[in-house]
């Protein structure tokens, strides 16, 4: 797909993905492109018509959202090695990497895939059922992903100062990214067969109810949506939450995602695609990149309209200035990225929120470390972000080098990383990225990988960052974040006012 993008950029001709199947040698492909160019010259000579652009003309940009967009009020997280935003920041600054073997007993003696490696939570089933009004049997029949997301949503709202959501009179929406964890397989194979017939074995194991459960337990009356667009799900959830806030559909929004791998099935399927790193490390945009490792965990953000946050006196950690979502359309295969789709979503995200791409000083990339994904993403970034006019480098990183790939929840650690980086005005390193891949300088000039912890300043301009996410099936998403307005004193939200006492419920 990177080849197609370069042909289009160089010769301004639209080359369909099927061309690679029909012209499988360099000579055949060159002959095809030469024919397209000859046809174009002949058409111009005969008609004098102007060449039709390969991409549609940009639509007129709508006015930026009143008040500067959407504010991030608080966050929560649960990642390997970090169970709070404060701990996550320390982990990132230290260049942490949690990739390792499968925890003992996780897959209950099931045959392991070849060379299993990943970034795993030590105890994803730790849960205080009584705190959330559930009995132990119901909790055990409920997917740990649903339990973790319920905890994350509750903690994020408490950190934002909304422990009694309905009593505030504000409509709170829930937007959750999640896919299958394999927990139904665990229930089916459990020694206690009755648990698989518990009503919660149905309602507690449907990813499409993960957001609705939060609304039901916490008594929230805003929209409750579960999002599954594969690896872009979390940023698509952010996009939908932002739209809901700006349309007045809700007043606060909990946006989050969670991913657990409770059986070896998902690992085997990923292995079959050739996307997993045989060396057990994600080296995003590194010269030795050979794939990614699966990751576990989740995070949640609480969002509000900026004007409302100001009126309520809420602390603001960062701004979500804009988001955009699209699909690749036809590509080489359902799993293959299309550079045109990625370029378009990047361009539209900045056009529609009125932010100049030149102001972006950092991009948190999707950065899977795969031989196909990284070059295509780098090429798309180079197209959307030419070198900055002042000559300063635009920084680049990927949290997948720290935590692995959280699949449906993959956008959440990247979003939280950027929020925390904006709060601290520092950029943590992406490990395993040196030396950088040779293609990076060629297709994305002006970008520099963040390989060491560093201060983040951009002269007298506010700090602006982009966050990328691309999914199997071609659904792409991009978010534009900016540091909080100077009138706010951004800091991490206060600690929980009511702690969660965890009881251990084995899965």
Active site residues: 231, 366, 405
Phi, psi of 444 (to 5 degrees): -135, 60
DSSP codes joined into one string, 218-274: HT--S-EEEE-BTBTHHHHHHHHHHHHHHTTS-SEEEEEEEE---SSHHHHHHHHHT
359 neighbors 463 (Cβ within 8 angstroms): no
Cβ neighbors of 272 (< 8 A, separation 6 or more) are none
Distance CA 187, CA 195 (A): 7
What's the first-to-final CA gap in the chain, in angstroms?
42
453 neighbors 429 (Cβ within 8 angstroms): yes
326 neighbors 439 (Cβ within 8 angstroms): no
E-assigned strand segments in 260-349: 297-305, 318-327
Cβ neighbors of 194 (< 8 A, separation 6 or more) are none
Distance CA 463, CA 448 (A): 17
Distance CA 292, CA 275 (A): 6
Distance CA 142, CA 422 (A): 36
Count the neighbouring beta carbons within 10 Å of the beta carbon of residue 318. 26
The pairing of beta strand 360-364 with beta strand 394-397: parallel
20: left (phi over 0), alpha (psi -120 to 50) or beta: alpha
Distance CA 147, CA 125 (A): 8
Q: Which residue has the tokens 């490792």?
A: 293
Burial-class residue 358 by CB neighbours within 10 Å (0-12, 13-18, 19+): middle
Count the neighbouring beta carbons within 10 Å of the beta carbon of residue 200. 19
238 neighbors 479 (Cβ within 8 angstroms): yes
């Amino acid at each position: 797909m990177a080849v197609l993008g370069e042909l289009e950029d160089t010769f301004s001709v639209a080359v369909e993905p099927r061309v690679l199947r029909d012209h499988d040698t360099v000579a055949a492909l060159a002959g095809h492109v030469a024919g397209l160019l000859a046809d174009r010259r002949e058409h111009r000579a005969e008609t004098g018509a102007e060449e039709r652009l390969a991409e549609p003309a940009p639509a007129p940009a709508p006015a930026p959202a009143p008040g500067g967009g959407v504010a991030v009020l608080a966050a929560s997280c649960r990642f390997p090695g970090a169970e709070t935003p404060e701990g996550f920041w320390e982990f990132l600054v230290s260049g942490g990497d949690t990739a390792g073997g499968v925890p003992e007993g996780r897959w209950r003696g099931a045959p392991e895939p070849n060379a299993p490696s990943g970034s795993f939570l030590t105890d994803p089933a730790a849960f205080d059922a009584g705190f959330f009004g559930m009995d132990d049997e119901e909790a055990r029949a409920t997917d740990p992903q649903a339990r973790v997301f319920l905890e994350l949503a509750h903690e994020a709202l408490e950190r934002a100062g909304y422990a009694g959501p309905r009593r505030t009179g504000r409509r709170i929406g829930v937007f959750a990214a999640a896919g299958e964890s394999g927990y139904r397989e665990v229930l089916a194979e459990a020694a206690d067969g009755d648990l698989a017939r518990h009503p919660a074995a149905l309602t507690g194991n449907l990813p499409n109810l993960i957001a609705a459960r939060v609304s039901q337990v916490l008594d929230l009356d805003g929209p409750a949506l579960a999002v599954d667009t594969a690896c872009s799900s979390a940023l698509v959830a952010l996009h939908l939450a932002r739209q809901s806030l700006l349309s007045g559909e809700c007043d606060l929004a909990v946006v989050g995602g969670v991913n657990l791998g409770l059986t070896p099935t998902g690992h085997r399927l990923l292995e079959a695609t050739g996307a997993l790193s045989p060396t057990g490390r994600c080296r995003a945009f590194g010269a030795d990149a050979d794939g990614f490792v699966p990751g576990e965990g989740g995070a949640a953000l609480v969002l509000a309209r900026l004007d409302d946050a100001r009126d309520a006196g809420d602390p603001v950690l960062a701004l979500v200035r804009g988001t955009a979502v699209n699909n690749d359309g036809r590509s080489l295969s359902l799993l293959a990225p299309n550079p045109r789709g990625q370029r378009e979503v990047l361009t539209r995200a900045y056009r529609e929120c009125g932010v100049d791409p030149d102001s972006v000083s950092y991009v948190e990339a999707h950065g899977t470390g795969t031989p196909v994904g990284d070059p295509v993403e780098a090429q798309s970034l180079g197209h959307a972000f030419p070198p900055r006019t002042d000559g300063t480098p635009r920084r680049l990183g990927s949290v997948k080098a720290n935590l692995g790939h959280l699949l449906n929840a993959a956008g959440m650690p990247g979003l939280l990383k950027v929020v925390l980086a904006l709060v601290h005005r520092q950029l943590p390193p992406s490990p395993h990225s040196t030396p950088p891949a040779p293609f990076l300088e060629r297709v994305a000039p002006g970008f520099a990988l963040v390989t060491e912890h560093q201060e983040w300043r951009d002269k007298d301009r506010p700090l602006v960052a982009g966050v990328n996410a691309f999914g199997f099936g071609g659904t792409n998403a991009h978010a534009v974040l900016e540091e909080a307005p100077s009138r706010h004193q951004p800091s991490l939200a206060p600690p929980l006012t009511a702690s969660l006492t965890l009881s251990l419920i084995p899965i």
